[in-house]
Structures are given as structure tokens and as C-alpha cells.
Amino acid sequence: MKFLITGSAGFIGMWTSKKLLDMGHTVIGIDNLNNYYDLKLKIDRNNFLKKYKNYIFFKLDLSKDIKKIDQLIKKYKINHILHFAAQANVRYSLTNPTAYLNSNLIGFFNLLELCKKNKIKNLIYASSSSAYGNNFKNHKSFSENLRTNTPKNLYAASKICNEILAHSYSEICKFNSIGLRFFTVYGPWGRPDMAPFIFLNKILKKKTIEVFNSGKMSRDFTYVEDVSNAIIKILFKSIYTKKRIIEIFNIGRGKSIKLLKFINTYEKILNIKIKKKYLPLQKGDMISTKSNIKKLNNFINYNPNTSLLNGLTKFTAWFVNYYK
């Protein structure tokens, strides 16, 4: 089968493309290769995918190159789209709001119009755990039926908008749309703007790491291959299900790890003592995240089983090898 993957040179897009290519499918990848973070990493991910004969890449921007993307969908007779292209990160949305407007709102709207015009059958798109904000501090975990209409920052707002827009287009145009709320995805080829990467980079350079909210934070860390395996299962289930699907699913590990335990795991892996500097909570940050994964478990028998120790060990090995 053929799939269009947006953001294929990004972290999750690359891993999902790889899984589909390994299965023998054809992936049409698009990415604008912007320089929000180290462009070389994106190019290297893309070069890794280009080793597969059935990976076809186009440098295109969803907020601008809509005609060209339309031509691609027609040329390759695309029925299924996996959409990961976006401006990610909560903190960056405080200083660079326009990037979110362009990629996450205009880009997403353009994509929905293309789905309508080309009678796309399945749209699977990235949302975020940020949608939950700090509203549910007293809840043991975040489940998909909680109200998410009070976002704490523009990034979260843009993702909630995506979910609402996708819902309305699916209702009217009758295509499947599945939004995935990812919870702190980490692993080889990971993003340089996220804590697992920032910490490891500083630790290996023997620098002090900054621990926000005095370490009283926790995150549901999810290993990238658990995520990409789940995406593939969701994709094929939606392709082979006759009934129309309009859904939102959490993709997390279902466990919340305290920041200090997370740092301690690096100490174990590297067998060193890490220097820490404690700082207050950063503006826009959530204190704690924990996914409730029952809904996804019921849908695809989702059972993410990579422990933090195993996942961070794999990430560390990749990091040391990649950055020498």
C-alpha cells in the first residue's frame, strides 16, 4: 500500500515511515526541513529513510505548497495520510507564535481541505498530551473523555483546534480521522529540544543540568518504538474497519515517572553522579502527565512494554554513536 507521511524527517514521522517501509509499503514523505532544531539531524533521518527504494521524499511546506501536495496525492493515488508535521514544543510557542499559526493551524486546515478534495479514506494525525493542561492535577491519569477546552499555551490550543477541525471535516466528508495524544516520546533519533536529549547532552559534557520546579515534576515517558508500533496497528485497524472512525487516543506508557527518578536512571546507565541545579517551574509547563491507555488498549490491544531503563539505554547508545 501507499501512504503519505507528513513530517517524515521528524522524529515520530521517521520511525513510523521506517516501520511501514520495513513492511514493504511505499511511503511518500513530505517535510519542509525547517531549522527549528539541528537541521543535520533531520537530513540524516531522511537519508536513513532514502536507503529504502520505496521511500519517495519531497521538500514541501504544508502552509504554502498546497498545489504541489495536491498533485502528489493524485499522482500516487493516496488514500491514507499520517500527519506528523507541526511546530512542536510548549516553551517555543511563548516566543514564536507565528510558527504555530502557520504549521499547526493553516497547515492543518490545508491538509483537511486536501482530504476533502481527494476523498481520502484515513487521516491519522498527531495531537498532544498538552491538550490536558494543568486542569486535572487531582486525577490519577488523563483519559480522553476529560474536557480539554482550557489550554495553557498556544501549542496546546493549536492541537485542540486540530482535533475539533478534524472532527468536523470527518463528519461532513465522511473520512476516518484519528487524533493521537502523544506523551513525551523519547528514543534513538529523538528531538534535541526535549528533556531526555537536553539532559544527556549536558551530562556527557559533565555540565550541571537544570531541574525545574525543584524536581517536583513527573512525565509519562513513552518509548518511540512502542509509539510507532501502536500507530501502525491503529492505521491498519482503521483501514480494515468498515464503520467510520472519528476518535482521539492517548499514546503514553501509562506510568508517570518523577523527574529525579528519570535523572537517576541516567546515573545508573552511565554510572556517574549528575550535577543538578534546582529552578522554579517554567511558564506554560505542566507539572505532571500520566496517560490513561485503556481506550487504546481496547482498540488495538496496546501494551507498551519498554521500561524507562531499557529505553534510555537504547537512546544513550544511539546518542553516543551518532554524536561520537
Ligand X SMILES: NC(=O)c1ccc[n+]([C@@H]2O[C@H](COP(=O)([O-])OP(=O)(O)OC[C@H]3O[C@@H](n4cnc5c(N)ncnc54)[C@H](O)[C@@H]3O)[C@@H](O)[C@H]2O)c1
Residues in the chain: 324
**In the complex with ligand X, which residue's Cβ is closer, 80 or 219?**
219
Cβ-closest residue to ligand X? Answer: 10
Phi, psi of 78 (to 5 degrees): -80, 130
| Pairing mode, strands 185-186 and 222-223 | parallel
Catalytic position from the list 155, 186, 223, 302: 155
Q: How many of the other CB atoms lie within 10 Å of CB of 210?
A: 14
State which residue, 63 or 291, has the beta carbon closest to ligand X.
63
Nearer to ligand X, 31 or 172 (CB): 31
Which of 247, 235, 8 has the alpha carbon at shortest distance from 122? 235
Backbone angles phi, psi at 176, to 5 degrees: -70, 135
Task: Using the minimum distance from each CB to ligand X, give the nearer residue, 80 or 191.
Answer: 191
- Min dist CB 236 to ligand X, Å, is 20
Relative to beta strand 257-258, strand 218-219 is: antiparallel
Q: Which is nearer to ligand X, 107 or 311 (CB)?
A: 107
Q: Minimal distance in Å, beta carbon 225 to ligand X?
A: 13
For residue 121, the minimal CB distance to ligand X (Å) is 21
Orientation angle between helical segments 308-323 and 259-270, nearest 10 degrees: 60
- Specify the residue, 120 or 187, whose C-beta has the smaller distance to ligand X: 187
Catalytic residue flag (residue 155): yes
Q: What is the 3-state secondary structure (H, E, C) of 267-310?
A: HHHHCCCCCEEEECCCCCCCCECCECCHHHHHHHCCCCCCCHHH
Task: Identify whether the C-beta of residue 262 lies closer than 8 Å to the C-beta of residue 303.
Answer: no
Smallest separation, CB 243 to ligand X (Å)? 26
Residues that bind ligand X (CB under 6 A): 6-7, 9-13, 31-34, 42, 61-63, 84-88, 103, 107, 126, 128, 182, 184-185, 191
Q: State the nearest-atom distance from the C-beta of 12 to ligand X, in Å.
A: 4
H helix or E strand, kind and range, residue 12: helix 11-22
State the DSSP code for 220. -
Residue 33 exposed, middle or buried by CB count within 10 Å (0-12, 13-18, 19+): middle
The minimum distance between CB 206 and ligand X, in angstroms, equals: 27
The catalytic site residues sit at 155
